Chain A
């Protein structure tokens, strides 16, 4: 049942125009940032970009826009069903409510992974076309070989995928509290931005998933610059916070859906 419902989510999304527009905006922002950075004349030798650095910059930008795109799509998941009244068509079918929640979440996570893959691949392509994917060299000394760079790119991509899980669950949960898509999307974006800002100001950002979103990209950036980096405890805290918040958001939305009266 979950597989069928997930397939239907893709079918419904593909009939709409806005997801294509969002994807185009994400990729255009990423490509523009990367091209501007690659073509800019460096003022000092320290400003000279390496391929991995350029990739990290582009992926960071693409991902930042991508997260907001996911918040939009996720928040619309249930709020659009409430607004259109289709919730009353679906919930009178022989399915369990949690199955519908799970299917929408699986769909959103798959969408997030697809988006991440697109951002990563576009980044790889732009670097290949501009600075190239050679060894990381400073003043004729090879800091990192090509193989190690690829390993870090892979690690950054995989870790970012984990960080996207709570983003998806959070966005979908917000949609369960609104019967207007616009209000849900606005609230999800506002809450996302507020969480990020509050985390930075209050010093508890390291426990908020938004803070960790760019961490793997940062790792690649550090490595690209030849700065020392250890896979420190904060990263494990970040992963823990992501998985815990993902679990909380999942349970929360299942309980919300199971207890909800579809009265309006």
Chain B
């Protein structure tokens, strides 16, 4: 796991006077699953958006398989990435299959690839239904199918189980584990759920107010307990500030 698929160096993003990210650096090795944690507004989504070129950083650089990608207009590097930003967003009036085929054609993948992925994520029986009528779990599964269309070396998932019932959460976990273990795909995953991060991730990064507060291996004993301790500290600090006010 030494070769870095994704490397982020000195990432800073300012919106006017507000600093959303401050000098953030980390990397994701081949086959590694890294969890990105933090409160709302900690900078997780901004980090993901910069990695995907949706947002330009004020400073810093993102490297994908050693190549700098920040500000690249060609978009070719995105062939190596599969991304869900915030939540799976598709055209509500098109069917699940039509949505997936639409993306497959942009990747240059055939319609057969879309059909195979729909089968893989368990949506083949509901593929003709409009996306707007899908349940949250079905939307997430379609999102995962979209992420896999181009056989990426890195997947970026933004809270993939938010709003799902426990069964759907377990199904999504199984899909992510299958993807990362069987296909040796690296993953960067935002989540608010510590148990999910413990199950799926090798390493956790905790962001707080745009800065990296903790980088913790989850393979170590009590790794997740360390992460929980940091969040407890943040909660106590906020409590104190609240009391003072």
**Residues of A at under 8 Å CB distance from B?**
1, 4-5, 8, 11-12, 15-16, 84-86, 88-89, 91-97, 258, 261-263
Contact, CB under 8 Å: A263 / B103:
no
A-B contact pairs, 17 of them (CB 8 A): A4-B105, A11-B102, A15-B93, A84-B91, A85-B87, A86-B89, A88-B86, A89-B89, A93-B103, A94-B76, A94-B77, A94-B106, A94-B150, A261-B56, A262-B49, A263-B49, A263-B54
Task: Apart from A93-B75, A95-B106, list 9 A-B contacts with CB within 8 A.
Answer: A5-B106, A11-B94, A12-B93, A84-B91, A88-B54, A92-B83, A94-B77, A96-B74, A96-B75
B54's partner among A5, A12, A94, A261 (CB-CB below 8 A) is: A261
Interface of chain B: mostly helix, strand, loop or mixed? loop
A92-B81, A96-B74 are known contacts. Are A16 and B90 too (CB-CB below 8 A)?
A: no
Residues of chain A with a CB closer than 8 A to B85's CB: 88-89, 92
Task: Judge if B173 is at the interface, Cβ distance under 8 Å.
Answer: no
- CA of A97 to CA of B53, assembled, Å: 11
Contact of B102 among A8, A84, A85 (CB under 8 A): A8
The interface size of chain B toward A, counting residues with CB under 8 Å, comes to: 35
As a 0/1 sequence over residues 200 to 236 of chain B, the CB contacts with chain A under 8 angstroms (1 = contact) are 0000000000000000000000000000000000000
Q: Across the interface, which residues of A come within 8 angstroms of B78, CB to CB? A: 92-94
A92 and B106 contact, CB distance less than 8 A? no
The 4 closest A-B pairs by CB, nearest first: A85-B89, A262-B54, A15-B93, A92-B83
Contact check: which of A12, A86, A94 meets B75 at CB < 8 Å? A94
Bound CA span A137–B93, Å:
53
Interface majority SS (helix, strand, loop, mixed), chain A: loop
Establish whether residues A88 and B73, one from each chain, have CB atoms under 8 Å apart when the complex forms.
Answer: no
Indicate if B34 sits at the interface (CB-CB under 8 A). no
- Measured CB to CB, the nearest residue on chain A to B94 is A15
With A and B bound together, what is the CA distance between A84 and B87 in angstroms?
11
| Residue of B whose beta carbon sits closest to that of A99 | B75
Residues of B within 8 A of A89 (CB): 85, 88-90, 103, 146
Is the beta-carbon distance between A263 and B89 smaller than 8 angstroms?
A: no
Q: Which of A258, A262, A263 contacts B73 (CB 8 A)?
A: A258
**With A94-B75, A96-B75 given, is the CB distance from A85 to B86 under 8 Å?**
yes
Is the CB–CB distance between A1 and B106 below 8 Å? Answer: yes
**Which residues does chain B contribute within 8 Å of A84, judged by CB atoms?**
89, 91-92
Interfacial residues of chain B within 32-79, with CB under 8 A of chain A in the complex:
46, 49, 52-56, 73-79
CA distance A88 to B78 in the complex (A): 13
